[in-house]
Amino acid sequence: MTSQKPAISDARETLPQPPAWVTQGHGETPEDVAFLSGAALSHLHLVFTRDDAPHALLRERLALRAAEVRVTHSGRPERAADLRDAVNLLRDGDLPGPAGEVYLAWRRAVERPLSVAALQRALPDHAPEALDRWLVAGQGAPVPRAAGVLEVVRADAPRAQLAALILADAALAQTLGWSHLVPLLATGLKRADLRLTGAELHFACHRALHAAGIETTRLLIDLTRRTARLRAVAPKLRAKGAAEAVALFLARDAIAPAALPLPDRAARRLCDRLVQLGAIRELTGRDTFRLYGV
């Protein structure tokens, strides 16, 4: 037991919280908001450099958030729990439905290193040539470039809001030198913001990134603490395939026992054991068709 507590404490202490002047700042002018968004992104970039942070898991959680925001903006009733079910409980030959397709697009967008091929996998209805053209449409610093991509995609394909948001976040990540797309604008922009242009859109993007940068840093700190607990208890697991299962939990938002590399009964036992150890959570509250995650 004594070997578990330092790992959890260290994870909490070594990923710094954003400074109070960043989290409590409320810029009124475009200059103030741009300064605060830059500070939030700078701090997020700092914690992204940490090897002990669960980057793949963070991207999956943010993909879920981005999908939920997009589905909500479209007027559909599905929320995060429904999206998890739509994708993680799919059987061969099943279709995820419109909301599930949105979630799948975001998951595919974040799971591979950023490239036109990875974006085309997430957005198969758009030709690689169009994605490549849109991705380089914006110019300049990260936020102006991302806003420029938003405007160009909306002008060329007014109904392709999902593509516009994915490409805007891709352009942002590319400009910041990140290897993977991280959904930030998609989680922070409001529905009305997507109709703005020019300086008003730039202001909305800065405001969205200020909020999203703070929330993403907090989420990463929490996930780092939680995954430290899972890593600490992993040596206690004796089931064949347990190491591979732990690796999946460290990278995936939610997993059904049937998706683990163990026989069905052994997979359920392993999930129950990890819940008892406080290493993962059961996410649905159901007695059947359960999903588990950190």
Judged against a pLDDT cut of 50, whether residue 7 lies above it is answered with no
CA dist 237 → 38, 66, 246, 260, 282 (Å): 43, 34, 10, 14, 18
pLDDT of residue 266: 96
Burial of 97 by CB count in 10 Å (0-12 exposed, 13-18 middle, 19+ buried)? middle
How does pLDDT run across 216-256, given as a tens digit for each residue? 999 999 999 999 999 999 999 988 999 999 999 999 999 99
Output the DSSP codes for 25-44: ----SHHHHHHHHHHHHHHH
Asked: is 237-293 a CATH 1.10.10 domain? The reply is yes
Mean pLDDT calculated for residue range 197-201: 97
Which band of pLDDT confidence, cut at 50, 70 and 90, is reported for residue 134? Answer: very high
d(CA 206, CA 185): 9
Sequence-distant (≥ 6) Cβ neighbours of residue 239 within 8 angstroms = 245, 262, 266, 269, 270
The set of residues, in sequence order, having a beta carbon less than 8 Å from that of 200 and lying 6+ positions away, is none
The pLDDT of residue 5: 40
Render pLDDT for 12-47 as a digit per residue (tens, 0 to 9): 456 788 889 888 887 789 999 999 999 999 999 999
Query: Model-level pTM?
Result: 0.93
Euclidean distance between CA atoms 144 and 107, whole angstroms: 25
Position 199 pLDDT exceeds 90: yes
pLDDT (average), residues 5-14: 46
CB 157 within 8 A of CB 133: no
pLDDT score for 175? 97
How would residue 4 be classed by pLDDT, with cut points 50, 70 and 90?
A: very low
Show the CA angle centred on residue 119, arms to residues 38 and 169, nearest 5°: 15
